């Protein structure tokens, strides 16, 4: 395992490689949505034709990305044009996190009614009210740190969401400090299934129906190892009270898909294991939805289209059982996000330890020019 000094040296050497040039934005900024305790920005996309009571999809970008970058790569606004749903893109600011990562593990940012999670909840409420959207069809998805934050939103505000989709993320409640988060990303020291389930159920007073969930993870992801995807699956199987054995396992465009259904046959949890894929969002380069690039992987399968179909806001994706498997493009410069996912926001009392491992990492990153 690389030492901390080796990791920081590698980060310094690759600084600036993880982010492509910003894409032209199709989004409009939302400037007033509440007290915004997490100091996030908000962007929205509304198709020219938006039906009454349209669904809302909340999309959380990964580290080093902007909202516009992630929309351009994933193709969500293209799909919204086809199917008539609204989009909300919360966006991190460098004042909170120098590498634009959502602070997915800090208790003050992922709990109910505080920090970044509360800002995202305020954005949702404002957009739903402003455009008369369907409160029963609000969905959330995210990549990497955005995926981990999406899990936090599902846990802390389960009554808000019908479903979520997590790409290369981590389970809710698995870490609360920088050293713990580093370990969990490597798959080390993950809490037991019972503890993970308890974390979700203890995050709110919710006693109603829980959101369904779709989990996507590349089998060659060395930034957030696939063990984390399996931990998310186990966490939400426990939340839904489902057996560990899937109801159905099949091949979709050369990738394994597992489905867990309730007694009524409703799919509550699904999981895609993406062959030969690293850290990023799986795309199908042939379908015209999204653009491959840094952390946007041409894996021969469109996660965007399949997720929308799972949520029943788009038509099912037609696939041929005999389709050959296609290798996924490797993510560019994954190392920066693997450590910088963990950088805390403004180091105020209660946000990070003033000494100890977290302080050591902070000082080292500042010395390397990777943190202000």
The 10s digit of each residue's pLDDT in 169-184 is 999 999 998 889 989 9
The answer to whether the CB of 169 falls within 8 A of the CB of 216 is: no
Nearest to 256 by CA among 235, 267, 271: 271
CB-side exposure of 90: number of CA atoms within 13 Å?
A: 37
More confident residue, 74 or 342: 74
| % of the chain at pLDDT higher than 90 | 77
The answer to whether the CB of 148 falls within 8 A of the CB of 175 is: no
| % of the chain at pLDDT higher than 70 | 80
The string of pLDDT tens digits covering residues 276-291 is 999 999 999 999 999 9
CA distances from 303 to 21, 165, 234 (A): 23, 9, 21
pLDDT at position 329 over 80:
no
Find the domain containing 99 and state its range: 4-367
pLDDT of res. 22 = 62
Nearest to 231 by CA among 174, 164, 276, 167: 174
CA distances from 140 to 58, 151, 153, 269, 287 (A): 4, 9, 8, 14, 23
Task: Please indicate, yes or no, if residue 323 is contained in any of the structural domains.
Answer: yes
Task: Please indicate, yes or no, if residue 227 is contained in any of the structural domains.
Answer: yes
The string of pLDDT tens digits covering residues 30-76 is 999 999 999 999 999 999 999 999 999 999 999 999 999 999 999 99
More confident residue, 5 or 132: 132
Q: Binning pLDDT at 50, 70 and 90, where does residue 352 land?
A: very low
What is the enclosing helix (H) or strand (E) of 251?
Answer: strand 248-252
Backbone angles phi, psi at 198, to 5 degrees: -60, -35
The answer to whether the CB of 319 falls within 8 A of the CB of 311 is: no
Pairing label, strands 41-45, 86-91: antiparallel
Distance CA 343, CA 123 (A): 24
Task: Please indicate, yes or no, if residue 372 is contained in any of the structural domains.
Answer: no
pLDDT of res. 293 = 93
Distance CA 233, CA 216 (A): 10
Which residue out of 66, 119, 144, 303 is catalytically annotated? Answer: 144
Task: Please indicate, yes or no, if residue 248 is contained in any of the structural domains.
Answer: yes
Domains held by the chain: number: 1
Work out the mean pLDDT of the chain and round it to a whole number: 86
User: Which DSSP state fits 324?
Assistant: P
User: Which DSSP state fits 247?
Assistant: S
Residue 142's CATH number: 3.40.50.1820
Q: Binning pLDDT at 50, 70 and 90, where does residue 362 land?
A: low
pLDDT at position 330 over 80:
no
Q: Binning pLDDT at 50, 70 and 90, where does residue 319 land?
A: confident
Distance CA 75, CA 82 (A): 11
Distance CA 54, CA 33 (A): 19
Q: Is 144 a catalytic residue?
A: yes
The answer to whether the CB of 283 falls within 8 A of the CB of 290 is: yes
């Amino acid at each position: 395992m690389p030492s901390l000094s080796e990791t920081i040296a590698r980060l310094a050497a690759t600084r600036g490689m993880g982010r492509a040039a910003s894409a032209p934005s199709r989004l409009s900024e939302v400037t007033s949505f509440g007290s915004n305790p997490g100091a996030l920005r908000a962007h929205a996309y509304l198709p020219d034709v938006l039906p009454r009571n349209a669904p809302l999809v909340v999309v959380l970008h990964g580290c080093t990305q902007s909202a516009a970058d992630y929309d351009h790569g994933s193709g969500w606004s293209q799909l919204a044009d086809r199917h008539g749903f609204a989009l909300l893109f919360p966006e991190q600011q460098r004042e909170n996190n120098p590498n634009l990562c959502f602070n997915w593990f800090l208790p003050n940012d992922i709990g109910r009614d505080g920090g970044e999670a509360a800002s995202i909840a305020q954005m949702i409420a404002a957009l739903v009210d402003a455009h008369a959207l369907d409160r029963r069809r609000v969905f959330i998805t995210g990549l990497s740190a955005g995926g981990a934050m999406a899990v936090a939103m599902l846990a802390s505000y389960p009554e808000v969401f019908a479903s979520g989709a997590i790409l290369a993320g981590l389970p809710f409640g698995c870490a609360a400090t920088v050293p713990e988060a580093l370990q969990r990303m490597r798959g080390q020291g993950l809490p037991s299934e019972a503890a993970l389930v308890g974390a979700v159920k203890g995050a709110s007073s919710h006693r109603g129906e829980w959101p369904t969930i779709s989990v996507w993870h590349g089998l060659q992801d060395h930034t957030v190892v696939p063990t984390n995807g399996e931990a998310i699956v186990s966490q939400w199987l426990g939340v839904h009270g489902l057996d560990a054995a899937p109801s159905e396992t099949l091949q979709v465009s050369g990738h394994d898909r597992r489905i867990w259904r309730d007694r009524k046959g409703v799919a509550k949890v699904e999981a895609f294991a993406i062959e030969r894929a690293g850290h990023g969002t799986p795309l199908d380069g042939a379908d015209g939805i999204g653009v491959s690039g840094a952390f946007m992987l041409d894996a021969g399968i469109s996660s965007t289209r399949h997720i929308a179909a799972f949520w029943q806001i788009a038509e099912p994706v037609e696939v041929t059982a005999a389709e050959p498997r296609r290798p996924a493009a490797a993510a560019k410069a994954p190392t920066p996000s693997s450590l910088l996912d963990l950088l805390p926001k403004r180091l105020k009392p209660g946000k990070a330890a003033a000494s100890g491992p977290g302080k050591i990492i902070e000082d080292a990153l500042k010395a390397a020019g990777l943190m202000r």
